[in-house]
């Protein structure tokens, strides 16, 4: 396994690029997030097409060419110290074949986002760089806890997160150590069989999702099963499963940690012996605590759950 490069820590006054690599976003939706970046002592630099809208079967934040232009500028400009996605949505897959890391490789920087940004983080990890799976600049409709953002700034400033959780009824006890991969389940699934898919052997997989019918959730889990993902990983962390199913299928429609979704996942992985954590606070949820994709993590799943990252 190649050594993963962690970008250098930021210092006050550094510039953070804000870009829209996928779905369209309005200026009013980013006001609080951009002001927060300023209040922390950093200078937000807005991508040229941050607020562009291109309607083509979906409301994209610009054409593919415009979004590629912005991400390559943000990743490679030597004056930029971190890149923060405005939101997810759909569209990051369009960029993968045209991402340029020529200057980035000489001066790596943190990429921050979640949801559709999972594919960008998989791309960066395959090139040997860690990233932050955490809240976007746009706050979700669920709201975002202050700690969710504070912990991102902690990582940007060189601190490593550690988490302790209460046990969950579906957890599988045990301990393991490995590189953390994953993100949004739909995107992990969408990358299977491509050159941009995560490597799974001896890794710890994290998954979360939103708005999927239960049969679609099971289809994705079955695809991972048929691709032998569960035979390869050494541990599994499940985050938010939000607004899953339909109102007829699920009486707890607004539950961020959907019990039926958890049950379906639990049944699908029942025969495997690796430790499993349910209910980790990351995903399309209010308490969205960041994880380091590519970070080395130790899991201990007993009556208490401990997750410890190491550089």
From first to last of the 311 residues of the chain, give the pLDDT tens digit: 678 999 999 999 999 999 999 999 999 999 999 999 999 999 999 999 999 999 999 999 999 999 999 999 999 999 999 999 999 999 999 999 999 999 999 999 999 999 999 999 999 999 999 999 999 999 877 789 999 999 999 999 999 999 999 999 999 999 999 999 999 999 999 999 999 999 999 999 999 999 999 999 999 999 999 999 999 999 999 999 999 997 555 444 456 899 999 999 999 999 999 999 999 999 999 999 999 999 999 999 999 999 999 86
Q: What are phi and psi of 242, to 5 degrees?
A: -110, 135
Q: What is the pLDDT of residue 248?
A: 56
Q: Give helix 259-268 / helix 214-226 axis angle, nearest 10°.
A: 20
Residue 115 catalytic?
Answer: yes
Residue 284 catalytic?
Answer: yes
Q: Give me the residue label for tokens 């912005």.
A: 70
Q: Which tokens belong to 203? A: 């890794």
Q: What is the pLDDT of residue 251?
A: 44
Q: Which of 128, 183, 138 is nearest to 21 (CA)?
A: 138
Q: Which tokens belong to 25? A: 């976003």
Q: What are the angstrom distances between the C-alpha of 67 and each of 5, 88, 233, 281?
A: 25, 13, 33, 30
Q: Which tokens belong to 249? A: 């299928």
For the chain, domains (ranges, CATH) are: 15-156 (3.40.50.10740), 162-310 (3.50.30.60)
Which position among 20, 81, 86, 115 bears the catalytic label? 115
Q: What is the pLDDT of residue 143?
A: 84
**Residue 286: Cβ-neighbour burial (10 angstroms; 0-12, 13-18, 19+):** middle
Q: What is the pLDDT of residue 256?
A: 86
Q: What is the pLDDT of residue 310?
A: 86
Q: What is the pLDDT of residue 142?
A: 77
Residue 147 catalytic?
Answer: no
Which position among 133, 197, 208, 234 bears the catalytic label? 208
pTM recorded for the entire structure: 0.96
Give the C-alpha separation, 41 to 31, whole Å: 16
Which position among 49, 133, 168, 284 bears the catalytic label? 284
Other Cβ atoms within 10 Å of 13 Cβ, number: 9
**CB distance 174 to 273 below 8 Å:** yes
């Amino acid at each position: 396994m190649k050594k993963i490069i962690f970008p250098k820590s930021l210092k006050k006054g550094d510039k953070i690029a804000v870009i829209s690599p996928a779905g369209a976003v309005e200026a009013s939706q980013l006001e609080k997030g951009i002001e927060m970046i300023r209040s922390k002592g950093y200078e937000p630099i807005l991508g040229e097409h941050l607020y562009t809208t291109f309607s083509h079967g979906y409301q994209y934040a610009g054409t593919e060419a415009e979004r590629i232009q912005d991400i390559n500028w943000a990743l490679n400009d030597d004056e930029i110290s971190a890149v923060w996605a405005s939101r997810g949505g759909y569209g990051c897959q369009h960029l993968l074949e045209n991402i340029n890391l020529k200057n980035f490789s000489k001066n790596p920087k943190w990429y921050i986002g979640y949801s559709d940004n999972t594919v960008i983080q998989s791309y960066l990890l395959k090139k040997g760089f860690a990233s932050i799976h955490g809240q976007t600049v746009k706050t979700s409709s669920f709201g975002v806890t202050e700690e969710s953002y504070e912990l991102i700034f902690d990582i940007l400033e060189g601190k490593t997160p550690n988490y302790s959780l209460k046990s969950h009824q579906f957890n599988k006890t045990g301990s393991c150590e490995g590189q953390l991969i994953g993100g949004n389940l739909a995107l992990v699934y969408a990358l299977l069989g491509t050159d941009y898919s995560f490597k799974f052997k001896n890794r710890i997989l994290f998954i979360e999702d939103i708005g999927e019918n239960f049969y679609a959730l099971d289809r994705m889990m079955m695809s991972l099963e048929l691709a032998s993902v569960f035979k390869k990983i050494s541990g599994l962390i499940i985050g938010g499963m939000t607004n899953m199913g339909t109102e007829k299928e699920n009486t707890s429609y607004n539950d961020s940690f959907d019990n039926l979704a958890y049950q379906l996942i639990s049944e699908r992985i029942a025969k495997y012996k690796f430790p499993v954590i349910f209910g980790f606070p990351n995903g399309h949820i209010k308490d969205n605590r960041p994880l380091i994709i590519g970070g080395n993590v130790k899991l201990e799943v007993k009556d208490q759950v401990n997750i410890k990252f190491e550089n």
